[in-house]
Amino acid sequence: MSTSSSHQENPEPKKVQFPLDSTAYQILDEIGFGVSAVVYKAICLPMNNTIVAIKSIDLDQSRADFDNILSETKTLSLLSHPNILSAYCSFTVDRHLWVVMPFMSAGSLQSIISSAFPDGLPEPCIAVLLKETLNAMWYLLCGSVNQLRVKNK
């Protein structure tokens, strides 16, 4: 019996490549901002108008140096954990770095807590959030330890 060469026991899920070109995205709204970045809701035109969030980091205003920001966003796009918001892709647009991410329609955890639980979260919810946060941190920690192992080989 012959086996097809394209058959794999555990095929890796195919990662969709988002376009690395700003004209492929249409900005819809500004949804938030941080110290040196503005976050937009946008659609990716060639991807059937998939809704995304684009974090546009002003490279002239950012205190971190370009190489650090770039390696951070690259790492972000390699992460795969249900509790970590990863990046689809990133690329520069003039003096800005665009980081294209899944759009979280409910906003940040902080905004959910302040709008839905103005008097603070009940203890069982805090326990669940802490557990899930620690799961994500454990994933990151294991990744760092594995990287150190590879470096020291």
Ligand X SMILES: Nc1ncnc2c1ncn2[C@@H]1O[C@H](COP(=O)(O)OP(=O)(O)OP(=O)(O)O)[C@@H](O)[C@H]1O
Point out which span in 3-11, 27-35, 70-78, 135-143 binds ligand X (CB under 6 A). 27-35
Q: Least distance from C-beta 132 to ligand X, angstroms? A: 17
Q: Is 32 in the site for ligand X (CB under 6 A)?
A: yes
For 135, phi then psi, to 5°, come to -60, -45
**Binding-site residue set for ATP:** 55
Instruction: Give the C-alpha separation, 39 to 57, whole Å.
Output: 9
Assess contact for 48 and 57: CB atoms under 8 A.
Answer: no
Which residue, 8 or 110, has its beta carbon nearer to ligand X? 110
**Options 25, 31, 88, 97; binder of ligand X; rule CB under 6 A:** 31
Q: Is 37 in the site for ligand X (CB under 6 A)?
A: yes
Binders of ligand X among residues 95 to 124 (CB under 6 A) are: 101-104, 107-108, 111
Alpha carbon separation from 96 to 1, 46, 67 (Å, rounded)? 56, 22, 13
Q: Is 33 in the site for ligand X (CB under 6 A)?
A: yes
Assess contact for 87 and 74: CB atoms under 8 A.
Answer: no
Assess contact for 28 and 45: CB atoms under 8 A.
Answer: no
Binding site for ligand X (CB under 6 A): 31-35, 37, 39, 53, 55, 85, 101-104, 107-108, 111
